[in-house]
Amino acid sequence: MEKLPAKQIYLLSIIIIGIIALSVYSTYAIFTFEGQTSNIVSLYTPNSLNISEEISEYRQTKIAKNSYITTDIDIYNTYDYEICYSVWYQILDGEFDKSLIKIYQVNNSSSGSIEALKSQRIKLLIINDNDVEVKLKVGIATAKNENTCTLNINENKNLVKDNIENYQELTTLIKNDTVAITEEQGYLVYKSKNDDDIILEDEKIYIANEYTYDNEIFTLVNPISIDIININNYQSNDDKNYYTCLDESTCKFLYKINQTEKQTVKNETTVFSEDIYKIIDYDTYKGYSKTTSGVKKIVKKDIENYLYYGDNPHNFIYYNCLDNSDKNSCELWRIIGTYYDTETGEYYTKIIRNESIGTYQYNNIDDNLWNNSPLLKYLNTEYELNNIEYLYEPKYFQESISDFENKIEDIKILNNEISSKVNIMSLTDYLLSSSCNKETINQYTKECLTNNWLNNNDNPYWTYTLKTNTKIVEESQQDEQEDDNLEDIVLNNQIISVSDTININYAKEQLAVRPVVYLKSRMLVVEGTGTLEDPYIIK
């Protein structure tokens, strides 16, 4: 059999995995130096162009509207010398906003070098926030590393520069990552993920065989300070467990050490080898009680929704930022939960502003329909809301997730349907956020309503849940009814408000307002633990 040329073998060995495409093709591309019009990729040494060959492999992919894809790019160096590489993308022409297309590299750098006969995996996240499908190319450029690592990418292509530490859907965070492997008194225990090693950067850490827990704080009992070079002597076994707060003796996140590892690596700056010590398997003890705060699953008609409940769950999130790169420009919001939309087959994350924006009338006339409310119009036209690219606008999306007996003083209540970007909370939101789990509204006592993170000890808040009267259909008209419902709903000018009690208010009254929005289904948590001190940061 005739052997393939080395260049063809090389090209065939470069594989881009995971990009879903209807039209897939690849080609060579030779990039030449074009002066002012070129984007220069300089790695390690900002030298002039000094390479013997440049190869590019790319594939074209389509991304549906308001969606994202994740992909791994595997680069294999089959040569007996080191190569340098860079990942690029090119957005193809179309009627859409290119600024709403974001590409992130995850964990590793999208530019670097690969030793002979080695490989490198690059993780990418590609987001399309446009309302139309877009097409783009994702590719790699490589060259032989001859004491420099300089690549030239022409002006039609862009480098993947933005980096995030990990990508994860916010809904997945609520749905899966909050499920502990065990539950203890006052805290939850989580099993570590394989790719989440703890790298020990300090020279010493604190170790103990026992700990105490009080008021969301773990305290090591009789801790000892050890040099990290001795960490392998402190791995839990059948006879003894070892716990650490790392460089402190108290902490909010405690770690049980299951397995450690010493790794010798070459320092790229000093060229000398150095030892790195890691905890590669551990259990994480997170300090909040599932019995009083946490996430609960609500199942109705085989649909699962997930809601935060209790006095103070870890559901703080930065939102409505003036500058996405500066968290100090953000407002503090909280996550109500995730709701499944049967129309789209996706979960949407519902958040609420932590503080009121002031007091407003629900309506200045006798009308309690939310879609007719001037308050709704104000929130969607005049209320200053940033980060609108993250928002999902419901299309008459009604959260029917509870089988409450909807009666207060024998008066029926009804949740309005919502079809706008900015809304307010519903009575169901408020009740299900309580630490109590009751079957009827009347069972929610003041104690239940107070032990509720949505209760800010403020003035009563408007909900979009309205009060209705009913009337009995005349017997002579019953035969004309198409179903067995003998009652008609009679709308009026009364709406439900919430505080330490559930109240019925007239539309013209002035009550506190907290805006509520839905986030698109794949919001990304890039930082934060959800506590008041460390809110979630999303992209």
Condensed to tens digits (0 to 9), the pLDDT of residues 150-160 reads: 666 666 788 88
With vertex at residue 391, the alpha carbon angle to CA 389 and CA 393, rounded to the nearest 5 degrees, is 125
482-518 residue pLDDT tens: 444 545 656 778 888 999 888 889 999 999 999 999 8
405 bridge partner residues: 440
Q: Band the pLDDT of 469: cuts 50, 70, 90.
A: low
> Tokens in use for 400?
């029917």
pLDDT value at position 412? 54
**pLDDT for the residue numbered 349:** 87
Give dist(CA 391, CA 539) in Å, integer. 12
The model carries a pTM of 0.65
CATH top-level class for 6-164? mainly beta
Determine phi and psi for 85, rounding to 5 degrees: -150, 160
Rounded mean pLDDT of 167-173? Answer: 62
pLDDT value at position 27? 20
Average of per-residue pLDDT across 525-531: 80
The mean pLDDT value for 42-66 works out to 48
* Residue 327 token pair: 């968290």
Q: Is residue 504 within 8 Å of residue 496, measured between CB atoms? A: yes
Domain ranges in the chain are: 6-164, 187-286, 293-538
Nearest partner of 417 among 431, 398, 403, judged by Cα: 398
174-188, 235-249, 474-488 — which is least confidently predicted?
474-488
**Percentage of the chain modeled with pLDDT above 70:** 71
The 10 Å Cβ neighbour count of residue 441 is 18
pLDDT band at 424; cut points 50, 70, 90: very high
Q: Which of 433, 419, 422, 431 is nearest to 343 (CA)?
A: 419
Distance CA 389, CA 324 (A): 12
Q: How many residues belong to the chain?
A: 539
